[in-house]
Amino acid sequence: MVEVRYEGVTKRYDDGFEAVKNLDLEVQDGEFLVLLGPSGCGKSTTLRMLAGLEDVSEGSIQIDGDKINDLPPGARGLGMVFQSYALYPHMTIADNLSFGLRMAKGEERLPDDEIIRRVQETAKLMELDDQLEKKPKELSGGQRQRVALGRALVRQPKVLLMDEPLSNLDAELRHQMRAEIRRLHDTLGTTTVYVTHDQIEAMTLADRIAILNHGELQQHGAPLDVYNHPENEFVQGFLCKHIDEIVDTANSLFPKE
């Protein structure tokens, strides 16, 4: 079942620049899709249009078959995690996690005991249950990023959007969090759209990758299919050659004999 569909989507900024050009792309229910490409290729713009943070200039974006171009961000049922995951510094981790739920209005507002239950459940999932009374500054970078992720998950979003969520972390932590994010996805099965410019991150996380360049979709498919069958020179250079070089470097560091 298709959860998210971009149909002929173009984004033209006010200065006339086309950051995304006539994009057709589907994300299946429960799928982990990675948008991959070099800096400036339009990854964030693609994600931000889905989130409702940027207008769509042409075409339509659908969630569950409904066109959502004009729906406000809060009504789209999405959770978002960004590179700069501003937590509220004066609130405890528990309050940071529950903030979005507590601010909901009308029918959307859950009863307090349900909010408490969800926060506890999410904290457990993110291994933050011992940290709930602390303030963000008392946590490590990795723990803070887990709070940011928990804050998105606690709302049980239909689709989880992540824009380079690991790029502020050091290499070791990035590696750990990558495994964590994949584990969470395997546990929860939330449809996910994840933006990165890191080829290894894309290959290890994705069910499917979609490669962009200059605002145009170059190719999409399962990571190994794309790696084994690049459809054009850009994909060959940006993905295949890059990965081969990493493998060559590793082999030269650790010769077989």
Ligand X SMILES: Nc1ncnc2c1ncn2[C@@H]1O[C@H](COP(=O)(O)OP(=O)(O)OP(=O)(O)O)[C@@H](O)[C@H]1O
Residue 44 binds to Mg ion (criterion: CB under 5 A) = yes
**Does 213 interact with Mg ion (rule: CB under 5 A)?**
no
Which residue carries 């996380």 as its tokens? Answer: 205
Q: For residues 44 and 145, which CB has a smaller minimum distance to ligand X in the complex?
A: 44
**How does strand 2-12 pair with strand 18-28?**
antiparallel
165 vs 149: CA distance, rounded Å: 9
Residue choice 45, 96, 190, 191 for contact with ligand X (CB under 6 A): 45
Is 51 one of the binding residues for ligand X (CB under 6 A)?
no
45 binds Mg ion (CB under 5 A): no
CA dist., res. 19 & res. 10, Å (int): 8
Cα dihedral 72, 157, 45, 52, rounded to 10, equals 0
Binders of ligand X in range 155-174 (CB under 6 A): none
Would you count residue 144 as binding ligand X (CB under 6 A)?
A: no
- Residue range at the interface with Mg ion (CB under 5 A); choices 39-47, 60-68, 94-102, 113-121: 39-47
For residues 31, 188, 165, 17, the Cα torsion angle rounded to the nearest 10 degrees is 30
Contact indicator for 226, 239 with CB cutoff of 8 Å: yes
Report the relative pairing of strands 58-63 and 2-12 from DSSP bridges.
antiparallel
Q: How far is the CB of 197 from Mg ion (least distance, A)?
A: 8
Contacting range for ligand X; rule: CB under 6 A; set: 21-29, 35-43, 57-65, 220-228? 35-43
Strands 208-213 and 32-36, sheet pairing: parallel
Question: Of these partners, ligand X, Mg ion, none, which one is at the site of residue 39 (CB under 5 to 8 Å by kind)?
Answer: ligand X
- To ligand X, the closest distance from the beta carbon of 127 in angstroms equals 29
Kindly list the residues in this chain that would bind ligand X in the complex (CB under 6 A). 13, 15, 17, 19, 37, 39-45, 197
